[in-house]
Amino acid sequence: MNEYLPGLAGVPATQSNISDIDGENGILFYRGYPIEELAEHSSFEETSRLLLDGRLPTAAELADFTSQLKENRRIKFHTRGMMKNLPASGHPMEMLQTVVASLGMFYPGSDCLTGSDACEDLDYIHNTTVKIMARMPCIVAMWEHIRNGYDPIEPRMDLSYAENFLYMLTGKEPDPLLARIMDVCLILHAEHTINASTFAVLVNASTLANPYTVIAAAIGALSGPLHGGANQRVLGMLEEIGTPDKVEEYVDSKLANKEVIWGMGHREYKTKDPRATILQGLMDKFMAARGGDLNPMFEVAKRVEAVCEDRLAKKGVYANVDFYSGLLYSEMGIPADQFTTIFAIARSAGWLAHWREQLSDNRIFRPTQVYTGEPRRSYVPISKR
């Protein structure tokens, strides 16, 4: 095949049994389970184990996995010291990529990833998976305190994954509803087939690179505004619009100038992103719990979605997962520049599932290209140019 398809659109890059999308009907499956059922009944810990192992765990298996995640939350003081020397003005995603990449120096062992036996050390693969997943939320929460000049808050072993993250981030034991909302948000962002950051995982994993640098590469890909960084842009867009009565003029202006309307459209979905539907429901539930105290930006968001649906539905452009997630995080008191780090925390489960899958039947990625440069020519000495 020599046809060039920009962005590899529609080109299968791998085989996977981790997740699937029915874009025409707006359905996302993790290992065959619809995302709506997992969001309703599961936890992030259970969903992660499902993604990693291919089946729902037993009660004993889930308890063991949850315990391992809790036991690996503590961060070495060398890492904390390094974080204190990073620029406080740096974006949290830049911090996260730097720190995760450095963890391989503190937790060696990737020398087993060599030659034909690359995937046979299952203990190393499992232990590394647990270490990365356990530490990423702690690193993100620690940074929120460090960059503001304070010592980070120590993790608690009696809290769930979502609860501990919110506790370390705010210093307060989270309200059960907020903790459940965060848990569902993590489930929704945990996996989404071969997107840009997951493809970065596959390419780097195929070289048998250290898994910490593999995840760091994925974090870099996720940080872009056309991928995970979009939810932060959505909140900025809503604040720029200001009030619902200004939405139509804003949307029409953007469309006329062929500019991006953040949070709208997805390459895989021809209808509304099912994750956006769940997030909108969480937003309604959150507001109801607050006695109807509605953030005016939520009304702006609903109006933007309605206007965009009127203008763009015939093209298959609807709200995606980024459209409501940033607004929901903002209502939970989370700074806007931390939105994408939460995405990364959740997606670590999917990334690591794909890392493991790649190692199980590895072949280094080496795509070809369509050359469009000059034909063969002879070197011209500098004196004759």
So which residues are the catalytic ones? 266, 322
Chain position carrying tokens 């060039």: 4
Biggest CA–CA distance in the chain, Å, is 80
- The C-alpha angle 6, 9, 15, rounded to 5 degrees, equals 130
User: CB of 230 within 8 A of CB of 41?
Assistant: no
Tally Cβ neighbours within 10 Å of residue 45: 25
Report the candidate in 25, 51, 292 with the shortest Cα–Cα distance to residue 189. Answer: 51
One-character DSSP codes across 58-81: PHHHHHHHHHHHHHT----HHHHH
Residue 292 φ/ψ region, left for φ over 0, alpha for ψ in the -120 to 50 degree band, beta for the rest: left
Report the candidate in 268, 127, 131, 136 with the shortest Cα–Cα distance to residue 192. Answer: 268
User: CB of 236 within 8 A of CB of 327?
Assistant: no
Helix (H) or strand (E) holding 138: helix 122-146
Q: How far is it, in rounded angstroms, from Cα 385 to Cα 379? A: 10
**In degrees to the nearest 10, what's the CA dihedral of 291, 279, 336, 102?**
130
For residue 30, what are the β-bridge partners? 19, 33
